[in-house]
Structure 1
């Protein structure tokens, strides 16, 4: 998730002309097509946008700044992304933006130059339909989880999900791996791709993909829809399912530890993030009040712990996205005041104290660090 960006293509295309008498010297400069930002190092914010409005965007800011560039794809390419933004991931050279349009057949993967945000290629329907999450494993290969074609309530998931294997050399899909319905979050850990499912899919299968063969290596039944979190400092895989998290040994696939996050069935756990030293896990525990407004707190526990102290929330609020900067170790919380206005990226120290906030786009849900 960490990348590099360099740009500024401004060039002088007309010489300076000496104009007579008192007018003096004119210097005529023109950009091509206009000055572009420097995206070599900093923070990208995934702004999903309003439901069905297709107004998602990527924002960017340098770590030392408190002002973000909004909708950077539009700034560089002169066009919006035309959908809700579900994910962004980068290799050294390329970035992949997942665009989920509210209209069937309009979803796409937008491939950009990771150093300039300039559009390089587009992979659209039918190769991708309802893209949900993207993981780049090296400079050659990325994986995109997709729901595939969906139906209407109550039969929303009418087909299996799949993992689209993206060849970054040719900017094309080289394989589709069939997985469970509602394929959602993924992590790449210890040479394997771990795929979870979304809660309302009704599927509780954790899928393990061998990235050397791009074949399903294992399917593991969980107590609820599984959400892979990542590998800790000792290489153990953490997976959330319902109100529990599990520490799993990937060599044997034995569950070595179970931690209950809450016994209150009205609450749900989400937005898990590992600290930069992989020793602590942060998460939200939330519920909806009578006005259907999300309420709750952010907690933390050590991977060596056997329980979570719910009497001591780290931050007394919940977020629409949560991440930790692997470079600085700061916690980033995404705040969505409404789906009709810009949201915020709020930065915290690991003790829960606030550093600052940055205004970003509509409905921020995730962060990518370079």
Structure 2
């Protein structure tokens, strides 16, 4: 659930969201997954409650779908947004059900949950007793205690209101975290994790979709430029390299008006950037220009999610197809050769490596 053009529809529905999600309980299935693998977070459809979690084993090329439901006999919820692993626990953020689940990485069973979020997006662990949760439709970042599954406080975001604006992905450099503000926003935030305060803001382009930290300790963010007719504006997207020490833009790479780049990720050595812009693109962090040829050409697909295996550099890209049927994940070598493809859930949008 990424594009700003969906927001007017979503906002009309927000008043009725709290009571519409139900978890159905039945028979549980036993899992014992000990191998390294890849979790695929399938968003499902907004207000249908059909988000799911899949698990892929790269060694055996086997995939297990609906693992949360099968392990817990309960639905994952409405619009699964992201997943993060911390201390061998998987934290699955379910946006429109206002919940984050903690799951066992071997059995896939629920260890606990944190509730009462407005619309959670991503979770980042500062330490064992503190994590930040970014949100949509809320001008606050939630502070949680993961050991007690409770919200302990909030960080107020200046110049953001509940009707527009979102805080999104989080990277940490020293004691500071950096967060991109996406929906109808144009900035990155710098937060001191010791004081839980926003200490600086950096203006980039319209709607930065992602943020990463490379091998040179440089921040990168990519903007989608908004959309034609947007009340916030519409411009050519751009890729920005930022020095986190001075929190200033070092270099800007321009795209064409009408492009919509997103899903900026790094390879395992953090020296190559990958992103989706119809095609899948790849660029060294030391390049001084955007490549002219894509890494993976567009082939009547709807590339929607992207990740790189931290162990061997294989590239995985999710095809949402029509957002109604099971999506497909394609696995490529670092040279762009197709290795495997497999079906997952509806609208595969995020990945998490175990």
Check the 8 A contact 2:221/2:264 in 1, yes or no: no
Supply the distance in 2 between the matched residues of 1:320 and 1:142 (Cα, whole angstroms): 27
Matched, 1:131 2:120: yes
Question: 5 Å matches for 1:294-333?
Answer: 296-310=278-292, 312-317=293-298, 319-333=303-317
Change (3 A) 1:34 1:131: closer
Check the 8 A contact 2:35/2:57 in 1, yes or no: no
SS in 2 for 1:110: strand
Give the number of aligned pairs.
307
Consecutive unaligned residues in structure 1, runs of 5 or more: 1-31, 149-159, 286-295
How far is 1:138 from its partner?
Answer: 4.1
Q: Which residue of 2 aligns with 1:275?
A: 267
Supply the distance in 2 between the matched residues of 1:228 and 1:82 (Cα, whole angstroms): 24
User: Larger C-alpha radius of gyration, 1 or 2?
Assistant: 1
Consecutive unaligned residues in structure 2, runs of 5 or more: 1-26, 226-236
Question: 5 Å matches for 1:4-153?
Answer: 34-38=29-33, 41-101=36-96, 106-125=97-116, 128-148=117-137
SS in 1 for 2:296: coil
Change (3 A) 1:67 1:341: farther
Supply the distance in 1 between the matched residues of 2:222 and 2:121 (Cα, whole angstroms): 18
Supply the distance in 2 between the matched residues of 1:231 and 1:100 (Cα, whole angstroms): 25
How far is 1:206 from its partner?
Answer: 1.3
How far is 1:46 from its partner?
Answer: 0.5
Supply the distance in 2 between the matched residues of 1:339 and 1:239 (Cα, whole angstroms): 26
TM, length-normalised to structure 2:
0.81
Q: Which residue of 1 aligns with 2:145?
A: 167
Among 226, 237, 240, the residue aligned to 2:208: 226
Task: Write out the 4+ residue segments of structure 1 that deviate beyond 4 Å after TM superposition.
Answer: none
SS in 1 for 2:92: strand
Residue by residue over 1:4-47, the C-alpha shift from the partner in whole angstroms, topping out at 9 and shown as x without a partner, is xxxxxxxxxxxxxxxxxxxxxxxxxxxx9643231552100010
What is the aligned-residue RMSD (CA, Å)?
Answer: 2.0
How far is 1:330 from its partner?
Answer: 0.9
Supply the distance in 2 between the matched residues of 1:71 and 1:33 (Cα, whole angstroms): 12
Further displaced range: 40-49 or 237-246: 237-246
Change (3 A) 1:33 1:350: closer
Residue by residue over 1:160-198, the C-alpha shift from the partner in whole angstroms, topping out at 9 and shown as x without a partner, is 422112211111112211223522422223132211122
Matched, 1:258 2:252: yes
